[in-house]
Amino acid sequence: MTVAFGEPWDAPIVDEATWIDTPADATCYDCAEAVEPGDRGFARPLIRADGTAEIGYVHAECELRSIVGHDIGFCRHTGHQRNRATARLVWAAFYG
């Protein structure tokens, strides 16, 4: 089951998602920046090395960067950092 927040976007993964309020007090587990009102993304289960579990939040563009960033040239091999600025470049490449 996919759990998403923010405004829906054109991606099959959110077609049948469960929508929650934007967790404005959370931090993105990928870029370490705050999740703010107006952001979109996912709630994901995170399992720590010690076996504990929690719900983590990730910006939609950060998740997209982690999946396709390297394939479209936005990765550390091309001088891009693993951060939200790079994630926004990936998002723009996909969604204009």
Query: Mean pLDDT for each consecutive 10-residue tract of the chain (96 residues)?
Result: 95 96 95 96 96 96 86 75 87 88
The pTM score is 0.87
Structural domain count, the chain: 1
Quick one: pLDDT at residue 78? 77
Beta bridge partners of 45: 55
Domain ranges, residue 43: 3-95
| Distance from C-alpha of 64 to C-alpha of 87, rounded to nearest angstrom | 7
First and final C-alpha spacing in the chain? 27
| Distance from C-alpha of 6 to C-alpha of 17, rounded to nearest angstrom | 12
